[in-house]
Chains A and B, each alone.
Chain A
Amino acid sequence: MKKLPSRVYYIFLFGFLYIPIFVLIANSFNASKSRNVWTGFTFDWYVKLFNDADIMSALANTIIIALIASTVATVLGTAAAIGIFNMKNTARTVIMNATYLPIINPEIVTGVSLMLLFVFLKINLGFLTLILSHITFCLPYVILCVLPKLRQMDIHLYEAAMDLGCNRRQAFRKVVIPEITTGIITGFLMSLTYSIDDFVISYFTSGPTSQTLPITIFSMTRRKVSPKLNALSAIIFVIVLAVLLVMNVREIKASKKNKNRR
């Protein structure tokens, strides 16, 4: 059978990807502190997790920073994308390369240079610097999500809106924004993900009072990996899985709806 090798390949592939996660989730319910022995089912680690002030404040920090940074980055990025879209060719190429650069640039370089900048400007490392740096690295993703939507848009839509009585601002709000909304939302979600995820840049730009979740986890693993972290990871995995499932279901529904319309 020709399909056999490919099946085996799939089993190995998904095995490598998911077995560690399932082991971790299983261990989060393990009463024993050791990963190698199963001494009984328990929710203790979850209870302890929610009672851990350090982790909880880091989680709150992470969420607040992610929300603020993504919102600001989305607004700035959308405006930037519209500006870039209307530029002349050479200017556009220059700005686009400047946009790609932070993405290609190793994070550690961005992190160190942001830290040096803040020190130079005598801004105390902390909440503010974290937000500023998160906005900085989220911005290109928003631009890259919104620009293709602008390119797909029929350029005459804006003119049509003006033709029908919109002034520039109305035309923008009533026609351009609805056209690029999916790009804006994608950009926001990507910013959110990257912001929550980020370790390297946050590591250099956070102060002692404002730790984000990845940094807290990292510093905890340096001592001894507490099973609390298993519980935390399990929760994060389940949330991400749930979001993905909801999005997929919505997509399937939307495409079915479109087919019916036709």
Chain B
Amino acid sequence: MDKIIEIKGISKEFNGEQVLDNISLDIHDKEFVTLLGPSGCGKTTTLRIIGGFVTPDSGDLFFNGKRINDLPPYKRNVNTVFQKYALFPHLNVYENIAFALRLSKTPEKKINMRVNEMLELVDLVGFERRSVNYLSGGQQQRVAIARALINQPKVLLLDEPLGALDLKLRKEMQTELKKIQQHMEITFIYVTHDQEEALTMSDTVVVMNRGTIQQVGTPQDIYNEPVNAFVADFIGESNILGGIMHRDRLVEFAGNIFECVDRGFAPMEPVDVVIRPEDIVLTEPTADTINGVVESVTFKGVHYEIIVQASDTWIVHSTKAREPGDIVGITLSPSDIHIMKKSSAFSQGSFITDETEVRNIE
């Protein structure tokens, strides 16, 4: 696969606040890339830099090998689906979609053909003459996608496009977007703070926090092999504990010494230990298990979420219910203990983020 977009050492500051701190990223042709992270992590700014709406303070942006730092948005072969759609209220559905073609003075016949193609693609045939102000959120979303795709861009940028839709519609649109991407055979760069959305749709997930890229990988990589405690916590739920790596494959945490599969740490190096709640097995308490008291049990549909109070507080997912007050043993197998270097970018427990996105408006 060819690189279509290269971000090289880009930094950006708004009012003295470092929004992007020397990020580098390659995006390949026909790839579905998701920029994932909490509010203010710089994902939207990254997207806006690619779109041409924000100029980086330093660093370079390449498109097909050409530096495009100073190219205005209207000269880039990139189109954007905006967060709140930004449909033109004074134009109807047809004219909104035809906007880009009208600008380039395309013959009427071709416009008509292309718009109809797009209407079919987003399943809005019959809505041509409607005013965009009286469409539902999902329909407006479709118009925005059709409008952005009509110029046949090489790359489509999507800024939290499903954020305003309800859960069911969001799921439908997720599959549909993926289909459209595969059908059009173009690159999608998708910004979201919803980790589930990122895992479902993407070929590559880019996890960002505080203006830096934390990890780039396939959804499986990101989920199964998070590089640090932030990624582990942001993607799914995790138990994160402080520990000490005694030597290769031997770690101490929660008052016990455990075998693990990680190595390459300095002797007695302090580390973060990450354990997924679904990897924990609750047994009868023995001398070899971490023993604690069940504090609460919540039914979650597929599983029960059980909070166990030992020397630390543990989240356990189990298909078997327990009663609050039960004494249980936490059993871990070596491959489920993930050891990570202490990350200095944040302090433990303080990085859980809210779900609402606050945008940077220059």
Show the binding face of A for B, using Cβ within 8 Å.
154-157, 159-167, 170, 174-175, 178-179, 258, 261-262
Contacts and interface: CB of A to CB of B under 8 A. Distances in A.
Contacts of A178: 88, 90
B151 A154 contact: no
B247 interface: no
Interface string B14-38: 0000000000000000000000000
Nearest to B147: A164
A94 B199 CA distance: 49
B82 A156 contact: yes
Nearest to A164: B100
B86 A157 contact: yes
B361 A163 contact: no
A82 B151 CA distance: 30
Give 9 closest A-B pairs by Cβ, nearest first. A156-B86, A160-B86, A164-B100, A178-B90, A162-B73, A165-B103, A156-B82, A163-B80, A165-B74
Given A156-B84, A159-B73, A175-B88, A165 B151 contact: yes
A157 to B, nearest CB: 5
A178 B91 CA distance: 10
Given A166-B74, A166-B103, A261-B134, A160 B88 contact: yes
A212 B348 CA distance: 77
Contacts of A174: 99, 103
B101 to A, nearest CB: 9
B67 interface: no
A163 B74 CA distance: 5
17 contacts: A156-B86, A157-B88, A159-B53, A159-B80, A159-B82, A161-B99, A162-B72, A163-B51, A163-B78, A163-B80, A164-B79, A164-B148, A166-B74, A179-B89, A179-B90, A258-B134, A262-B134
Name, among B73, B82, B90, the residue most crowded by chain A CB atoms within 10 Å (CB to CB): B73
A178 B82 CA distance: 20
A178 B73 CA distance: 21
B53 A170 contact: no
B73 A163 contact: yes
Contacts of A164: 74, 79, 99-100, 103, 147-148, 151
* Majority DSSP secondary structure for residues of A touching B: helix
B83 A156 contact: yes
Contacts of B361: 155
B154 to A, nearest CB: 14
Contacts of A163: 51, 73-74, 78-80, 148
A167 B79 contact: no
Nearest to B157: A163
Given A165-B100, A165-B104, A159 B74 contact: no
A60 B109 CA distance: 51
Contact of A159 (B86, B89, B103): B86
Name, among A154, A157, A165, A262, the residue most crowded by chain B CB atoms within 10 Å (CB to CB): A165
B130 interface: yes
A155 B360 CA distance: 12
Contacts of B289: none
B214 interface: no
A166 B88 CA distance: 13
A160 to B, nearest CB: 4
Nearest to A157: B86
B331 interface: no
A82 B322 CA distance: 64
Contacts of B72: 162, 167
A262 B100 CA distance: 27
B157 to A, nearest CB: 9
Contacts of B53: 159, 162
A156 B103 CA distance: 18
Interface string B56-74: 0000000000000000111
Contacts of B74: 162-167
Contacts of B84: 154, 156
Contacts of B52: 162
Contacts of B131: 261
Nearest to A259: B134
A253 B14 CA distance: 47
B362 to A, nearest CB: 10
Contacts of A159: 51, 53, 73, 80, 82, 86
Contacts of A166: 74, 103
Contacts of B79: 163-164
Nearest to B102: A174
B265 to A, nearest CB: 47
A187 B83 CA distance: 32
A258 B131 CA distance: 9
